Structure 1
Amino acid sequence: MKSQKQHIELPKDVFTSLRELLEMERFAQIMSLLANKQKVKSILGGKHSSKLRGRGLDFEEVRNYVMGDDIRNIDWKVTARTKVTHTRVFSEEKEKPALIVVDQSKSMFFGSQKRTKSVVAAELAAVAAFRILKQGDRVGGVVIGDDGVDIIQPKRDRRNILRFLDKIVEKNHELKNHTEGTLDDSLRDTMHKVRNIVTHDFLVVIISDFKKYSPEVTRFISQIAQHNDVILAKVMDPMERDIPHIKFVAGNRDTQVTVDGKHKALNQHFVTGFDEDYQSFQTQMKKHHVPVFTINTVDSLDEQLKDVFAGRKK
């Protein structure tokens, strides 16, 4: 009863709840994380940076060639032996296991207008999990907090998703405590646990603001991308790029500073700094064929996902 009361008292859009994450299932059809389902202009398809391999193929049988069959699948040995053209038939593998890594650390507990980054990240993780399950694949998750990491092993089971969402809500609600974080330790723990789960031909979706990720983590992403499909979703708040054109006080428990948002040079400094950092990160990931897209805390998640997967978002 105490836990239920606590959930009710937490403000919507600042914190999330299991009920709200379950409602994200209605947006699952917007996403497609299979290579053969991508539109040409999608961030995950066509000439863009993704190397999504899609599902693999299992050999089924050899049969007589039928007009329209792919000539690349002709079995020349059987054809030569029988004097009749034969082709090899393949079936699509039944699953592509997936792991969703979602950041619920202190840097995600920020939102200037509508929702916090932590809430948006939780919602996106829920949409991705439901979509992957609908594709018939095993799905699990890793939830990063400042004081530890929770892990849900991939399974093809709706109850497994509920456990994953429960862990997200738990870490999300811990953000209200304002404890000193140990993010570096959490990241090292995350990398260790992901390496133990992800072998090859996994789909790994990482959702974070990528503000505190060290070169060590960047190398880790590039390493798992060698044998797996990796997609990065950067959650950002507009104020991280465009500060208000007013004078305001910003700070934390220890320090406060006065920021003059009317100063054009300062505004431009924020814009340039954000854009250069993001472009540098994209460039690094592009070298490893890892696509990156942004989701903001202001616009509706479903409309943003439609833009990303339809190729309308830069």
Structure 2
Amino acid sequence: MHVTQNVSQWLDNHHSDGVNLQIKELLYYRTKASLLNLSLRRPAQANLSGGYLAKTKGRGMEFDEARHYQPGDDIRAIDWRVTARTGKTHTKIYREEKERPVFVLADLSSSMHFGTQLLFKSVQVAHLTALIAWAAHKRGDRIGGLVFNQTEHKEFKPFSRQKAVLSLLNGLTKLHTPHDVRPNQVPFSDACARLRRLAHPGSLVFIISDFANLNDAAQQHLAHLSRHCEVTAYPISDPFEHALPQSHYQQMLSLTDGQNEQQIIIGEKRIASQYQIEHEQRFNTINEQLKHCRANVVPISCAISLEQQLAKRSSEKAV
């Protein structure tokens, strides 16, 4: 994975140290909302007015097609150009606009407080949540969510005002506790269950986590959620979780999660190869499980800035 050049300068520009979290670095993404495209991928289901185009036909803001005039059609909608060209009366049909609330599930639990190059995974979660929130606000959508760490959770009901964005961002800073490494007491499956109750049918749902605790119960909740909502999963990972650091000679590294300590050898090809294979299988399994839940899966690295990753994906789609 490519590492962001000049890490210190990048962190300074983004008002971040990569480990702790402050509101100022989340406000930065207000000017970057265009990096995310929140356009509709599946038919809108919410019976509300707003910025998403639905498949239902009606008087809206977006022209859909012209068809033969039928008794009862509004004469004000007659397409006179097509009528003159074809010699038969045609009427304009519009695609109705519908709003879909946007929900974010932000995982700040203990496994997320890890990073080796640019940011902790938990900090990248907060940055991506902020970007989604500002993008939704820019479109005029309502934004809500659920933020949880290893000991507590906080729910945010969806509102369209800027106050809703700031409330969510403040919740991220309050629940981001990188020095609290106690075992998880708020299971990931419980958070998914709460999100399932919060997100109404037709909502746009983003789940940002390393999915280290994606058990059967969590998968059931996500699968049920995907039946009625459009779900995008962002698996967050660090390069160290994919491959061991390269070394010209063998050396022993000590790793700790704050409670347990483990030693690992780097610079030994067999161990490095085995490590990479095992972890690749693990990430492939997580991705397949998420896809089985009908989630759109978008992997994100915490070693690369969101601007780089999202800009690269946009350019690849444009080719």
The normalised TM-score by structure 1 is 0.79
- How far residue 75 of structure 1 moved from its aligned partner, in angstroms, is 5.7
Among candidates 55, 62, 67, match of residue 53 of structure 2? 55
- How far residue 206 of structure 1 moved from its aligned partner, in angstroms, is 0.5
Q: Quick check: 1:24 aligned with 2:29?
A: yes
Give distance in 2, aligned partners of 1:299 and 1:74. Answer: 54
Give distance in 2, aligned partners of 1:75 and 1:214. Answer: 55
Give distance in 1, aligned partners of 2:287 and 2:104. Answer: 20
Q: Say which is worse superposed, 238-247 or 107-116, in terms of deviation.
A: 238-247
Give 1:301's aligned residue.
306
Give distance in 2, aligned partners of 1:266 and 1:14. Answer: 29
Q: Residues 115 and 219 from structure 1, CA distance in 2 versus in 1: closer, same or farther, beyond 3 angstroms?
A: same
Q: Quick check: 1:183 aligned with 2:181?
A: no
Give distance in 1, aligned partners of 2:22 and 2:140. Answer: 26
Give 2:9's aligned residue.
none
Give 2:163's aligned residue.
159
Give 1:70's aligned residue.
65
For 1:1-314, list aligned pairs within 5 A. 12-35=17-40, 51=42, 55-56=53-54, 59-61=57-59, 70-71=65-66, 74=68, 76=70, 78=72, 85-87=89-91, 89-172=93-176, 174-184=177-187, 187-245=188-246, 246-311=251-316
Question: Secondary structure in 2 aligned to 1:113?
Answer: coil
Q: Residues 61 and 262 from structure 1, CA distance in 2 versus in 1: closer, same or farther, beyond 3 angstroms?
A: closer
Runs (5+) with no aligned partner, structure 1: 1-9, 36-49, 63-67
Runs (5+) with no aligned partner, structure 2: 1-14, 45-51, 79-86
Tell me if the contact between 1:141 and 1:154 (Cα under 8 Å) persists in the aligned partners.
Answer: yes
Residue 272 of structure 2 aligns with an amino acid whose one-letter code is N
Tell me if the contact between 1:120 and 1:297 (Cα under 8 Å) persists in the aligned partners.
Answer: yes
Tell me if the contact between 2:59 and 2:95 (Cα under 8 Å) persists in the aligned partners.
Answer: no
Give distance in 2, aligned partners of 1:212 and 1:78. Answer: 56
Give distance in 2, aligned partners of 1:264 and 1:118. Answer: 31
Give 2:6's aligned residue.
none
Q: Residues 247 and 11 from structure 1, CA distance in 2 versus in 1: closer, same or farther, beyond 3 angstroms?
A: farther
Residue 221 of structure 2 aligns with an amino acid whose one-letter code is F
Q: Say which is worse superposed, 134-143 or 240-249, in terms of deviation.
A: 240-249
- How far residue 141 of structure 1 moved from its aligned partner, in angstroms, is 1.3
Give distance in 2, aligned partners of 1:286 and 1:77. Answer: 46
Aligned length, in residue pairs: 279
Give distance in 1, aligned partners of 2:42 and 2:146. Answer: 23
Tell me if the contact between 1:247 and 1:262 (Cα under 8 Å) persists in the aligned partners.
Answer: no
Question: Secondary structure in 2 aligned to 1:269?
Answer: helix
- How far residue 161 of structure 1 moved from its aligned partner, in angstroms, is 0.6
- How far residue 178 of structure 1 moved from its aligned partner, in angstroms, is 2.9
Tell me if the contact between 1:28 and 1:128 (Cα under 8 Å) persists in the aligned partners.
Answer: yes
Q: Say which is worse superposed, 250-259 or 295-304, in terms of deviation.
A: 250-259
Question: Secondary structure in 2 aligned to 1:164?
Answer: helix
Question: Secondary structure in 2 aligned to 1:248?
Answer: strand
Give distance in 1, aligned partners of 2:121 and 2:185. Answer: 19
Aligned-residue CA RMSD (Å): 2.8
Residue 113 of structure 2 aligns with an amino acid whose one-letter code is F
Identity across matched positions, percent? 23
Q: Residues 206 and 52 from structure 1, CA distance in 2 versus in 1: closer, same or farther, beyond 3 angstroms?
A: farther
Tell me if the contact between 1:31 and 1:309 (Cα under 8 Å) persists in the aligned partners.
Answer: no
